[in-house]
Structure 1
């Protein structure tokens, strides 16, 4: 299973632990989609922070994805829900470490 497939699986299953394990210690997620949802963009830095951030989002039903489609080994598209506001989004793994962890991932509106 590719990193992007693992990312999508963790997001769909709302598994914040599995999601965090995909990232390097200093990995980063930049999610630009909430901007249209009357929220600030998400810039989460560090494996532990990513786990905690998504734990809260998933636990309180503030974020989910559906209708995911893998586009390439580093890109997927899906419908993202931010507090019920739906956005068609594209996730891109921008950079990985030598040991195969995500160093930088971005999510943008499609």
Structure 2
């Protein structure tokens, strides 16, 4: 995924309304008017959000007669997940090292208590 596409994806995901729209689309495709119902905004305002999501590759819109159903495009989220994976691995490694350190500290504290020393 290119950096520009990744930036567009994160920009699209930064808005809570767009995240809510994506969450609704995980249930299946639907129309703009159906997507607009839970929000206190006009159809054109929802359409603007959909355009941002579409440019980011997060949704696709079809055309069936007068209907323009929207559906989620999960491959774009796979690209974000792949980008995040390197950071996930970094934090897993750091947390594993922290766990080892904490076990060492706890073992020293237990050993000190058995020998009559109390660290404070």
TM-score between both structures, scaled by the size of structure 1: 0.24
- Which structure dedicates a bigger proportion of its chain to helix? 2
- Which structure dedicates a bigger proportion of its chain to strand? 1
TM-score between both structures, scaled by the size of structure 2: 0.23
Structure of higher CA gyration radius: 2
Larger RCO of the pair (alpha carbons < 8 Å, separation 6+):
1
